[in-house]
Structure 1
Amino acid sequence: MGTFIVHILRDVEKFLKNSSMPAAKFGREAVKDPRFVFDLRKGREPRARTVERIRAFLEAKQ
């Protein structure tokens, strides 16, 4: 798993813990893919556009 993926996953996991949002709901709301977080945990490498969407979602929810 690349360092880049680890950072994204860390940020998502931190958000999930702090917000108590289920992983499937996060994926559905952030990138319209309820499996996204589960796949990310398994090493999925998101495209740059997807990472931008995740970052925007996280910033909007802070």
Structure 2
Amino acid sequence: MSLLVEIDRYLRLTGVSPSTFGRRTVNDPRLVHDLRAGRMPGPGIRARVEAALKEVQ
């Protein structure tokens, strides 16, 4: 599953806004917007996002 799909699923399940998610995980409120626009996250960002997503599972 792609990272963006996993983030969108998390957002739906938790009701957290995209900007709040980005701010909490990588201190970037535009993260989800930028990913939706085609931004490719680096390995550090990817690792931090994946760690945040695993906390909920």
* TM-score normalised by L of structure 1: 0.87
Q: Which runs of 5+ in 2 are unaligned?
A: none
- 1:7 paired residue number: 2
Runs of 4+ in 1 over 4 A off after TM superposition: none
- 2:23 paired residue number: 28
- Indicate the percent of aligned positions where both proteins have the same amino acid: 35
* TM-score normalised by L of structure 2: 0.94
Equivalent residues, number = 57
Q: CA deviation at 1:61?
A: 2.5
- 1:3 paired residue number: none
The aligned amino acid for 1:20 is G
Q: Which runs of 5+ in 1 are unaligned?
A: 1-5
Q: CA deviation at 1:60?
A: 1.3
The alignment yields a C-alpha RMSD, in angstroms, of 1.2
